Amino acid sequence: MSKSSVMNTYGRFDVTFEKGKGVKLYDTNGKEYIDFVSGVAVNCLGHCHPAITKAVVEQSNNLVQLSNYYWNTKHTLLAEKLTENSDHDKVFFCNSGTEANECALKIARKYGTLHGNGDKNVILYMDNSFHGRTVGALSVTGQPKYQKDFMPLMGGVKNIKFNDINQLKENFNENVCGVIIEPIQGESGINNADVDYLKELRSLCDQYNALMIFDEVQCGMGRTGSLFAYKKFGVIPDIITVAKALGGGFPVGATIANERAASAFVPGDHGSTFGGNPLVCAVALAVLDELIDGKIIDSIPEKEAYLRSKLAVLKEKYGLINEIKGMGLLIGISINDGKFKDLVNKCFEKGLLVVTAGSDVVRLLPPLNVTKEDIDEAMALLELAMKEMVS
């Protein structure tokens, strides 16, 4: 089987997977792996969860795809489920987190057009942020390494320092139409926003009539211990973008907005051919039923505490871990002496899948329905990897 026909856009590990069940994956040679990557926070119920399988089978026997010129039942029910569990009013469905962020940026620009004097079009974004790889999302991604080869990018955007209140105030004025921020920066190293910073940002958005956008693509959908991460910070944004775990492995994104923001759009302003199709909405509904009604989200704090306790023992025992970061089951461990990639590779050899973040962090992103026994098994493999690295 030749892999040369696949475009070279990922630095893939030398493994081909063909089967998964729960927290386990199996490669073409039959080797078993514990998956603490979960598709980078996508497979929130693990692999081949029966609720997802059931939803796929039942919905594919009824209706798979439909033009957005018409309503479909699952689309409406999913929108209701999301708004009922948030402080927001309207939902736009698309296919990915990047697309959800593109929609949010367009809402902010349209809002500025409607409420400004012609110059209200500036979008502020944070250094070290990550919002996607399309031109619009890349323009508000605060990491030059992703931007440099694709210049010029979208104008009317300004980079400011994450968690720096003084710089935030200095760059806020009547020309700002929106601010996009991850409440927990995932790709750059699992960095939490300060609550005081977010409260000041909320106040400035209200003062200057700008929209506050939370990118919860990685940290949302239960991973922090609440369905939406913003609830952990005590600040309500105007727009939330979600994807990844919303579909439990199926491609779906959503831009969730309050009436103030959503009212900027009129028919023709935005669209998505496959967004909100009945099949993916049925799957997303099944996922939310498990997370919310099945009380999986309620179990996250206990699982977080258990995982952190195991990591604390390894931190003390081997001296490789500098810091245990994050919230809920979005956990990062910063590693000494630039050895974080070595640890990821060593874990892979042992049969534990983890992924890097930023300049020194290893991310642990287990399924949200992970058990203590799964955590024990994963930590045993992590310890084997650490032991070999220090011996």
Catalytic residues: 130, 215, 244
**Are 354 and 362 in contact, with CB atoms under 8 Å apart?**
yes
Residue 371, annotated ligand binder?
no
Give residue 166's Cα distance to chain centre: 28
Residue 215, annotated ligand binder?
yes
Cα 259-262-268 angle, rounded to 5 deg: 145
Q: Which residues contact 293 (CB under 8 A, 6 or more apart)?
A: none
d(CA 189, CA 234): 22
d(CA 133, CA 364): 23
First-to-final CA distance of the chain: 38
Residue 80, annotated ligand binder?
no
For every residue of 122-133, DSSP letters joined together read EEEEEBT----S
For every residue of 176-222, DSSP letters joined together read EEEEEE-SEETTTT-EEPPHHHHHHHHHHHHHTT-EEEEE-TTTTTT
For every residue of 334-359, DSSP letters joined together read EEGGG-HHHHHHHHHHHTEE-EEETT
Cα 48-326-90 angle, rounded to 5 deg: 65
Residue 87, annotated ligand binder?
no
**Look-up of token digits 């400035």:** 204
Output the CA–CA distances (angstroms, integers) from residue 249 to 9, 364, 367, in the order listed: 20, 18, 11
Residue 274, annotated ligand binder?
no
Residue 48 CB coordination number (10 Å): 13
d(CA 52, CA 17): 20
Closest listed residue to residue 71, CA positions, set 243, 236, 342, 281: 281
Please confirm whether the linkage preceding 367 is cis (ω < 30° from 0): no
Residue 272, annotated ligand binder?
yes
Residue 133, annotated ligand binder?
yes
Tell how strand 176-181 and strand 211-215 pair up. Answer: parallel
Residue 214, annotated ligand binder?
no
**Look-up of token digits 């795809």:** 65
Element (H, E) at 241: strand 239-242
Residues tagged in the binding site annotation for N(2)-acetyl-L-ornithine: 133, 272
Residues at the binding site for pyridoxal 5'-phosphate are: 97-98, 130, 215-218, 273
Binding residue ranges: 97-98, 130, 133, 215-218, 272-273
